Amino acid sequence: MIIKILGKGCPKCKALEEQATLAIAEIGIDASIEKVTDIDQIMDMGVMITPALVIDGEIKSVGKLLSKDRIIALLKT
């Protein structure tokens, strides 16, 4: 599983990455986290507001800081 955090590195982007890391550790799945900071790549994915969470190529959240539990729920679907 590939999880992408889209954002330029703002505090919310960093916090989303931390929550995603905690979520992966809690449920023990094999996943990697990639940070996408290039604004052109972010816009090419159709995202205009960051942070954004992408799981296996599917945009799951835009413009929100999700909790660990919410990310776990998204990872299980």
Q: Which residues are catalytic?
A: 10, 13
Integer CA distances (angstroms), 51 to 11, 27, 28, 65, 75, in order: 9, 23, 24, 7, 17
Structure tokens at 5: 């955090």
